[in-house]
Chain A
C-alpha cells in the first residue's frame, strides 16, 4: 500500500504524537512495508464469520456500583507532579 508523508503526519496528529518531517519520511517506507505485509489477509475468504471477542465461558462481568475508599492516599498521590490539599494540580488545560 502506498502512503505519503502527509498521511503519516496526519496519523501522528490523531495519535497525539509530534514527529519531524525527516521522521515522517523514514516512517513512510517502514509503514508501506508493514501495511503491504498486512494485506496478506486479503487472500483469505473470511465471509460472514462471526467475531467472538471473549471466551464464551466468561461472558459479561459486572460488579456492584459501590464506592470504596483507597486507604493509602499518600501512596496514591506519590506519582502526581503537584498537589494542593487532596487535589492533583495540573497545568491549565482550558484555553
Chain B
C-alpha cells in the first residue's frame, strides 16, 4: 500500500514498527502534494523544510528506542486561522497576508507534542466566514470529487487536502458548520467537539461563543485519535473544560450500537432537502436498526429560526472580534491616509473582503442602539431555548441523526452572488453550535452524479464517545470512508 493512502493509525504503526521512516512519509505526501495541489488549490502555505526537520527528530527518537507520541509521523494540515509559530497565518485575508504568529495555538502545540508533522496551512473562507471557500482572498479551492464544484467551507482547504490524499489529517474550525459541511462535500469525516473540549487559544476569533477546533480525517478511528491528542483543559482559554472528560475514545469505539437510542428529527428533513440526501440518511437509520439500535422519528420544533439566531449572534461577535484590526499595530495598513479615522477606515475597507465587511456591518447593526433588543437579545433567548430543546431530547436519546447539508456540493460561483442563499445552506449545522453540542459528519452515500453525501451524528454535551462509537459501527457497514476521488 502507498504511504499516502494510509490512515493516521497505519502511518504511526508503520513508523514505530520500522517498516518505513518519518522522512519517507513526508517525502511520499509531498510527492502527492506536488502532483495534486495544482488541481485542488487547497494549501496557502507549505512547510516542507520544517516537516522534514520534525521527521528527522521522530526518526532519531525511534532509532534511540525512545517513546513517540500518538500521532508520530502523521502529516497534518492546519487551517490558516490557527496560529503556527513562525509560519504565516493569514485567515485567507489580505488583512493578515504577512502575519507571522510569535506562538503556537494550543492545538498546534499539542499536535507537536504528539509528534505529528505539520506540512502546511490550508485555504479557507476569509476569517472563516462562508460555506464554499470562495471567500478566500487568495485562491479558490476545488472539490476533489468534481473540480467544477466547491469543497464547502469555511474549512474547505482542510477537507479538500485530506480528501485528495495530500494530508492524513487536518484541523479545521467550526463556528456554524465549517468543519462538518466541507467534510460532507469532500467525502471525509469532520468532527466538531463540544464547545470547551478543545482549547481555542491561538484560533483567530470569529464568533467566540461558537468557535471550536476539530479534526477532518479519512476515517472514524483517525478522528478519535486526533481528538484524544488535541482536547483538554487549557489555562489560556477560560472557556475550556474544567471537569474530567473521557480521554480514551479508542478502547470503546468498536463496542457497537446495540441498544443505543437514536432520534431522527423530522424538522431536519425539510427546508428543500435534496432527495438523494434524504434517501441516504433514511437508509442509515435503517442500517442502525439492523445493527440493534432503536431509531425513531422525533420532533425538534425550533430548527428554522436557529439560522437567524446564529447569523445574528455570530455576526455580532465577529463585529466585536474584528474591531482589533485597525491598521495600527499589525496587519494590513493603507498607504495614503489623513488622520487616525481615515487610517482605520481605509485599512479595514481595503484589507477585508466583501463577505467579512457584510458580517461586520450586520453585527454592528444588530448591536446598535434601538435594534439590540429586537435582534441580539431575542437571538440569545432563542439560543437558550434551542439548548434546552436539545438537552431534553438527549434525556431520551443517545444520539441524533440528520443531514450535514441540505444540498450536494454546488458549482463554483453558483451561490456567490446571493449571500442569503449561501447562509441557508448552513441550516442543519448552526443549531449544534448554538447549543454547544458535539457533532460529526461522515460520508453515507454517493449521489447519482458521483458526489459524496454527508450524514451528521449529534451527541449530548461531552458525548463524543457515543458519537464515535455509532459512527464507527456505521462506517464498518457502509465501507465508504475508504473511497477516494479520482483526480
Contact = CB atoms under 8 A, between A and B. Distances in A.
Given A11-B361, A12-B361, A16-B344, A79 B308 contact: no
13 contacts: A8-B361, A18-B346, A30-B419, A34-B311, A35-B365, A41-B382, A49-B381, A52-B387, A58-B241, A58-B242, A79-B329, A80-B330, A93-B343
Contacts of A51: 377, 380-381, 383-384
Nearest to A76: B102
A72 B102 contact: yes
A81 to B, nearest CB: 6
Nearest to A70: B102
A63 interface: yes
A46 B331 CA distance: 42
Interface in A1-58: 8, 11-12, 14-19, 27, 30-31, 33-35, 37-44, 46, 49-55, 57-58
B83 to A, nearest CB: 12
Please report whether the interface of chain A is mostly helix, strand, loop or mixed according to DSSP. Answer: loop
B382 A46 contact: yes
Contacts of B319: 15
A49 B73 CA distance: 50
B428 interface: no
B233 to A, nearest CB: 10
Contact of A27 (B98, B100, B358, B423): B358
Interface of B: 85-86, 98-100, 102, 195-196, 209, 235, 238-243, 302, 304-305, 307-309, 311-312, 319, 323, 326, 328-331, 333, 337, 339-341, 343-346, 348-349, 352, 357-358, 360-366, 368, 375, 377-385, 387, 419-420, 423, 436, 461
B380 A41 contact: no
Given A34-B420, A38-B375, A57 B243 contact: yes
A92 B342 CA distance: 12
A65 interface: no
Contacts of A95: 339-340
Given A15-B361, A34-B362, A37-B308, 13 more contacts: A14-B364, A18-B345, A18-B346, A31-B365, A42-B378, A44-B385, A49-B381, A50-B384, A51-B377, A58-B242, A75-B85, A81-B330, A92-B340
A50 B381 CA distance: 7
B329 A17 contact: no
Given A49-B381, A79-B99, A95-B340, A27 B361 contact: yes
B345 A17 contact: yes
